[in-house]
Amino acid sequence: MFLAVMGLMTFSAQYASAQEGDSLATTDSSELVAFEPMDEATVEEAPAEAPIHQEIKRLFIEGGAGFMATIIACLVFGLAVAIERIIYLNLASTNTEKLLKKVEDALNKGGIEAAKDVCRNTRGPVASIFYQGLLRYDQGAEEVEKSITSYGSVQMGRLEGGLSWITLFIAVAPMLGFMGTVIGMIQAFDEIQAAGDISPTLVAGGMKVALITTVGGLIVAIILQILYNYLISKVDSIVLSMEDSSIALVDMIVKYQNK
């Protein structure tokens, strides 16, 4: 993904340069043919703004390719992990009320084996927990509850897998930005020392280049933080449904045993 982004930016720059060359050639040829005086409105017209991809490329170069590349790498890897977790959690979501209804109907009609088949053919961690509980049906309600609790912890660990990497990228991206800023400020003061004069243009240019890395790191951290909070809320929702449905399953098994 990172190589694709860099390739796209390089291709865009080459394409923009080719367009500029064509426009200059067209302008030169038109000037040879005829000359039209420009009115005041045309002279005072503001220059067209550069496309967004050119602005991003310019800021990337001004901020320093080394630090900006590491910050973009944090964004790419963080987005990859976040997208994988979003897909996994969406696939892990289950309509627990519908599943409990199917398990209850299977228990009443076909017994434990029919209920196992329902859980085996249903996707998601809730169905897996139900299946582990039904496997220990003959050992009593206490063993069923212990099995559900233990396997629930395993499923919770799987749901939270990969989130630590996102928190790592959230923490590292701003630190890389701050490091780039500090190094940029050091380079700016070195240029001031070499010039022997505190020029406002020299100081402002050095500070601008240094602060670009900080902005980049903060933007990456904000994007990943939003995705991280979404994933945490998704995990909490699935875990809550797991706990509620597990209690309902234990009650269902106890009721079936007392028949």
Residue-wise pLDDT for 145-195, tens only, equals: 888 888 888 888 888 888 999 999 999 988 988 887 777 777 777 777 777
pLDDT attached to residue 42: 42
In a domain, 123, yes or no: yes
78 in a domain, yes or no?
Answer: no
| SS3 labels along 106-153 | HHHHHHHHHHHHHHHCCCCHHHHHHHHHHHCHHHCHHHHHHHHHHHHH
114-123, 155-164, 188-197, 218-227 — which is least confidently predicted?
Answer: 188-197
- State the pLDDT at residue 48: 52
> In sequence order, which residues have a C-beta less than 8 Å from that of residue 129 and are 6 or more positions away?
148, 151, 152, 155, 242, 245, 246, 249
Range of the domain at 116: 95-159+253-257
pLDDT of residue 25: 42
Is 154 inside a domain boundary? yes
pTM assigned to the model: 0.69
Domain-located, residue 20: no
Is 90 exceeded by the pLDDT of residue 200?
no
Average confidence (pLDDT) over 61-79 = 79
The single-letter code of the amino acid at 228 is Y
* Domain-located, residue 176: no
Q: Let me know if residue 131 belongs to a domain.
A: yes
**Tokens standing for residue 40:** 């005041």
Whether 118 is in a domain gets the answer yes
Per-residue pLDDT at 203 = 67
Q: Is residue 114 part of a domain?
A: yes
Helix, coil or strand: residue 168: helix
pLDDT of residue 49: 62
Alpha carbon distance 38, 253 (integer Å):
89
- Calculate the CA dihedral of residues 62, 67, 73, 79 and round it to 10 degrees: -80
Q: Distance between alpha carbon 201 and the CA centroid of its chain, in Å?
A: 38
pLDDT at 32 over 70: no
Considering 69-73, 80-84, 196-200, the range whose residues carry the highest mean pLDDT is 80-84
- Closest to 172 (Cα-Cα) out of 215, 217, 230: 217
Mean pLDDT of the chain: 75
Residue of 102, 125, 9, 124 whose CA lies nearest to 116 = 102
Dihedral sign for Cα atoms in the order 50, 9, 210, 225 = positive
Number of compact structural domains in the chain: 1
The DSSP-derived string for 58-112 is HHHHHT-HHHHHHHHHHHHHHHHHHHHHHHHHHHH---HHHHHHHHHHHHHHHHH
**DSSP label at 258?**
T
